[in-house]
Every structure is written in structure tokens, then in C-alpha cells.
Amino acid sequence: MAKGDFLGEFEQLILLAVLRLADNAYGMEVRREIEIRTGRDASIGAVYATLDRLEGKGLVRSREESRAERPRKLYHVTADGTRALAATHRAVSSMWEGVRVPGV
């Protein structure tokens, strides 16, 4: 894989949050999911900017939800997004093989 094909740490967190949330993956829920699971208090701006960048790369797609009481943009991970996530996971796991770090 080329250098630019791997996902950054925050990009991985966002994609995983979108996958976990399934049909309820919009900005606020993605931010909260990351906060609950990792303790990282990401800003809503960083979440939207990352989702926008991932959408530009074709790794997520968005649609507006009109039924909600306020306009919301729902995201879902594309097949390319799943592939990129799997490739990054494989690369990181491969690097961890045989490495011993106290506390892990």
C-alpha cells in the first residue's frame, strides 16, 4: 500500500465509531462514542473536518436525515473505507507482533 493509503489514528477512531453506530452515525453521536470508549474529548469541529476528509477520499458517504426534529447528516462507511480500515489494522497488528511493552 502507498503511504497515503493508511489511516491516521483519529481517522481510524472516526471510522470505527461510524461502524459501531450503524444507522445512528451523525456528528454528535460519533463524538460521544469516541469520548465514551477512549476518554478523548474531541471537538465537534475536528469530528466534522475528519468526516469531510474521509468523504473526500471516498471512505464514508453522507446523507441528510429529514425525519429528525433537527437536520442531521448521517454517515456510513463505504466498501473502500472498510478495506482501508482492515489494511491499517493488519499493518498495525503486524508491527505489534513479537513486541513486548509493559502494560499491554
- Positions touching other proteins (CB under 8 A) are 4-5, 26-28, 31-32, 41, 43-46, 48-50, 52-53, 56-59, 70-73, 84
Task: Quote the least distance from Cβ 60 to other proteins, whole Å.
Answer: 13
Task: Quote the least distance from Cβ 68 to other proteins, whole Å.
Answer: 9
- Residue 26 is which amino acid? Y
- Give the residue with the Cβ less far from other proteins, 86 or 96: 86
Task: Quote the least distance from Cβ 5 to other proteins, whole Å.
Answer: 6
- Give the residue with the Cβ less far from other proteins, 38 or 96: 38
- Give the residue with the Cβ less far from other proteins, 70 or 100: 70
CA 14 to chain centroid, in Å, comes to: 2
- Give the residue with the Cβ less far from other proteins, 89 or 96: 89
Task: Quote the least distance from Cβ 40 to other proteins, whole Å.
Answer: 12
Q: Cα(57)–Cα(34) distance, rounded to whole angstroms?
A: 21
DSSP 39-103: -----HHHHHHHHHHHHHTTSEEEEEE-SSSS-EEEEEE-HHHHHHHHHHHHHHHHHHTT---TT
Residue from 75, 45, 73 nearest 10 by CA: 45
